[in-house]
């Protein structure tokens, strides 16, 4: 019996070792493009390969968008385009990342199984757009698994293939049809056991929403209950996590040990990559991957700030506990208003590396001549000829190649983290700040992130599942609207043990089921914050009364939301300037145990949050040489694989800039010049310098 038990244990451990992700060893920076031989208006593969080689492109990403070409009819497979590209790239010494083509379904599948098109709150999707299917549909899953296996069988032994991308910018796409509703009921049964629990926890007696029989469980499409709606959103995120793990497990059956699995996660979109993705639990979904991947698109020209590159990179790096990541998609030209000024493409590329990227890849190589993305331009314009952006990309490729050993696998250690929560985001989205207010979770989070970025303070991201929260000296906790008691108690303990924390309004308001706490607000953390409030309002003409920060009148303005705070043990950093509300505190700070908790009770200007951030960075001893610079001069650093510190200096400006180098002697890597402490580094408009210190 013991031998059988040990044998079963060995088999289980072997399964686990093959199922879970292994971080891949990388020894060369990847510089790449997405390439679609299927889209080309005429034969030019050899010419493209020659131009890629001249540009320093060493990896292409293929196949993720072209299921209908790879399987033109049910069960009929044609890998001609994949083979053509693989053969050409192998001969040229260019690596290939193969994407599973499952995010855009072919016409024959929908003709045969129209129910594959997702039913959403707006009705059933129509064919045409990508990502229009129900990722839980059993027929879709059958065809998806079949095409993945056929492709993997076909390409797995090709030496050019270094990795696989599962699906593409995956989300649940609002799928909410009867089959998804049935899955949700099963999920609720497993999690909450009884309807009495559900009715009590989610307050379903309101407006006669009480459910008295499992067969009567209503569709979530019409729910008015914010708690139940947030639970359904969590369930939909779990669908994404499970779906990607399912695909990764299939790919892992075939892939070689030297090949990796990744996914190109995207971010909340506001015309560009902006914030935490509401529809995906990135930290959970990334567990099935070997290496995290990210798509980062951002404004350019006079609106290029670098902050979206930094934000997306910090999120991606944090997905796998600080490990390096791949920038799988970013723009070369993109929208017409994004055509970069000279120097900006270089600035962007090295900015990705400075946040810990081991790959920078453009979408796409060639501009497309018809259909939906015709005017999203690639590295090459529609004429396929060399252009100024392509010529600049050639300089990046050469520098990536010669400096790979110095710049790859950059390790970053930060003492500041932002705690984000998908549950809080969903819960807050159900209620927000009131009717018609567009300010959202990510708007608040980004105000704090941007402030850190502008003062050159490195930042990681953590979520409620993170084991390393206590490792940071400063935590920023924006809009933690919905959270379990255990998390808030953990944060109290963090402060008591010496941590510094900055909370915003609406934190601790509701529990993990988006049920408002009946205690004093802010719930549970009022102990560490030394405050309470029971009323909140629109500021109207109220502003801040704060003399310590030397604020301009316009900096003191408030908008949208204010909590009427009464301190118990906290000191007041700012009161409200208002004939009625003036007796209440707006911003407080409290010593609790060995640490400090700061609470911001209103939506303030960025000037105010910047002052608070700077004070706390100084209080924890992080204000140093890098903070003598401020945006548009940006600096980032990390330790390379040789154990040397690499300092990046960026000028996000159309004007010349200069930096006095404050660290030990080293070498400026782009020019090869020796640099000594106190040297002046001139930064041309949109310029970059990289110093490896000895």
Which residues are the active-site residues? 169, 329
The burial of 329, by beta-carbon neighbours within 10 Å (0-12 exposed, 13-18 middle, 19 or more buried), is given as: buried
Q: Which of 498, 571, 506 is nearest to 533 (CA)?
A: 506
Q: Which of 480, 414, 426, 444 is nearest to 227 (CA)?
A: 426
130 is in an annotated binding site: yes
Strands 562-563 and 566-567, bridge-based pairing: unpaired
The beta strand positions in 242-386, using DSSP E, are 260-262, 264-265, 268-269, 273-275, 293-296, 325-330, 357-362
Give the integer Cα–Cα distance in Å for 47 and 75.
33
338 is in an annotated binding site: yes
E strand or H helix that includes residue 657: strand 657-660
The beta strand positions in 435-584, using DSSP E, are 460-462, 474-477, 500-504, 531-532, 536-537, 543-545, 562-563, 566-567, 571-577
Give the integer Cα–Cα distance in Å for 267 and 318.
14
Give the integer Cα–Cα distance in Å for 355 and 322.
10
CB 599 within 8 A of CB 566: no
How many other C-beta atoms are found inside a 10 Å radius of the C-beta of residue 665?
Answer: 13
Distances (CA, A) of 62 to 101, 156, 161, 167: 9, 14, 10, 12
- List all residues 6 or more positions away from 562 whose beta carbon is below 8 Å from its beta carbon: 505, 536, 537, 538, 539, 542, 576, 581, 586, 601, 602, 603
CB 97 within 8 A of CB 62: yes
Give the integer Cα–Cα distance in Å for 123 and 306.
39
How many other C-beta atoms are found inside a 10 Å radius of the C-beta of residue 621?
Answer: 9
Residue tagged 């289980």 (tokens): 12
Distances (CA, A) of 54 to 32, 49, 92, 401, 471: 13, 9, 11, 12, 45
108 is in an annotated binding site: no
Q: Which of 541, 626, 633 is nearest to 581 (CA)?
A: 541
Distances (CA, A) of 9 to 234, 253, 316: 33, 20, 34
The burial of 337, by beta-carbon neighbours within 10 Å (0-12 exposed, 13-18 middle, 19 or more buried), is given as: exposed
Per the structure block, which two tokens stand in for 141?
């899953």
Give the integer Cα–Cα distance in Å for 264 and 306.
20
How many other C-beta atoms are found inside a 10 Å radius of the C-beta of residue 693?
Answer: 16
- List all residues 6 or more positions away from 271 whose beta carbon is below 8 Å from its beta carbon: none
DSSP state of 338: G
- List all residues 6 or more positions away from 447 whose beta carbon is below 8 Å from its beta carbon: 478, 606, 609
What's phi and psi for 208, nearest 5 deg?
60, 35
- List all residues 6 or more positions away from 159 whose beta carbon is below 8 Å from its beta carbon: 90
Q: Which of 181, 231, 237, 189 is nearest to 214 (CA)?
A: 189
Which residue positions form the known binding site for substrate?
130, 168, 338
Which residue positions form the known binding site?
130, 168, 338
């Amino acid at each position: 019996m013991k031998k059988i038990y040990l044998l079963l244990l060995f088999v289980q451990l072997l399964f686990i070792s093959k199922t879970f992700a292994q971080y891949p060893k990388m020894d060369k920076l990847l510089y790449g493009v997405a390439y679609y031989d299927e889209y080309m208006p005429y034969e030019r593969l050899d010419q493209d390969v020659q131009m890629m080689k001249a540009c320093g492109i060493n990896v292409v990403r293929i196949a993720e968008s072209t299921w209908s070409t790879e399987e033109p009819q049910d069960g009929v497979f044609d890998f001609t385009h994949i083979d053509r590209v693989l053969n050409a790239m192998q001969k040229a010494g260019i690596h290939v990342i193969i994407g599973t083509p499952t995010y855009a379904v072919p016409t024959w599948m929908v003709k045969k199984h129209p129910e594959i098109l997702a039913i959403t709150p707006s009705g059933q999707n129509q064919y045409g757009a990508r990502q229009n299917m129900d990722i839980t549909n059993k027929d879709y899953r059958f065809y998806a698994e079949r095409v993945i296996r056929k492709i993997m069988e076909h390409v797995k032994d090709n030496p050019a293939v270094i990795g696989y991308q599962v699906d593409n910018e995956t989300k649940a796409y609002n799928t909410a049809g009867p089959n998804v509703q049935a899955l949700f009921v099963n999920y609720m049964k497993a999690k909450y056991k009884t309807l009495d629990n559900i009715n009590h926890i989610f307050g379903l007696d309101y407006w006669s929403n009480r459910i008295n029989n499992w067969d009567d469980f209503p569709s979530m499409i019409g729910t008015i209950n914010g708690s139940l709606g947030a639970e359904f959103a969590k369930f939909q995120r779990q669908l994404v996590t499970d779906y990607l793990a399912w695909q990764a497990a299939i790919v892992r059956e075939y892939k070689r040990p030297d090949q990796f699995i990744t996914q190109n996660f995207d971010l909340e979109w506001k015309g560009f990559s902006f914030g935490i993705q509401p529809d995906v639990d990135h930290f959970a979904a990334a567990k099935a991957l070997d290496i995290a991947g990210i798509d980062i698109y951002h404004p350019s020209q006079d609106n290029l700030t670098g902050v979206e590159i930094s934000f997306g990179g910090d999120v991606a790096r944090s997905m796998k506990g600080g490990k390096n990541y791949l920038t799988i998609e970013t723009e070369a030209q993109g929208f017409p208003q994004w055509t970069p000024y000279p120097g900006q493409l270089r600035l962007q590329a090295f900015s990705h590396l400075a946040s810990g990227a081991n790959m920078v890849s453009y979408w796409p190589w060639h501009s497309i001549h018809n259909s939906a993305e015709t005017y999203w331009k690639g590295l090459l314009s529609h004429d396929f000829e060399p252009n100024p952006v392509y010529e600049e990309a050639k300089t990046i490729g050469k520098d990536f190649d010669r400096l790979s050993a110095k710049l790859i696998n950059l390790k970053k250690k930060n003492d500041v983290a932002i705690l984000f929560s998908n549950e809080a985001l969903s819960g807050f989205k159900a209620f927000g700040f009131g009717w018609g207010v567009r300010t959202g979770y990510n708007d608040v989070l980004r105000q704090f992130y941007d402030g850190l970025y502008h003062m050159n303070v490195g930042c990681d991201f953590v979520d409620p599942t993170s084991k390393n929260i206590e490792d940071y000296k400063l935590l920023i906790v924006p809009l933690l609207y919905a959270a379990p008691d255990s998390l808030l108690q953990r944060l109290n303990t963090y402060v008591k043990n010496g941590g510094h924390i900055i909370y915003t309004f609406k934190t601790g308001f509701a529990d993990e089921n988006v049920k408002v706490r009946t205690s004093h607000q802010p719930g549970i953390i009022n102990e560490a914050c030394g405050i309470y409030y029971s009323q909140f309002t629109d500021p109207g003409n109220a502003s801040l009364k704060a003399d310590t920060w030397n604020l301009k009148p316009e900096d003191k303005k408030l908008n949208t939301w204010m909590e009427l705070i009464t301190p118990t043990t906290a000191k007041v950093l700012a009161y409200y300037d208002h004939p009625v509300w003036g007796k209440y505190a707006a911003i407080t700070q409290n010593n609790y145990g060995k640490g400090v908790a700061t609470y911001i009770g209103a939506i303030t200007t960025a000037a105010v949050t910047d002052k608070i951030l700077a004070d706390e960075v100084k209080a924890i001893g992080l204000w140093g040489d890098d903070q003598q610079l401020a945006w548009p001069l940006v600096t980032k650093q990390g330790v390379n694989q040789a154990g040397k510190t690499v300092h990046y200096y960026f000028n996000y400006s159309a004007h010349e800039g200069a930096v006095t180098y404050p660290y030990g002697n080293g070498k400026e890597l782009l020019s090869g010049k020796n640099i000594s402490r106190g040297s002046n580094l001139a930064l041309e408009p949109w310029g970059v310098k990289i110093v490896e210190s000895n």
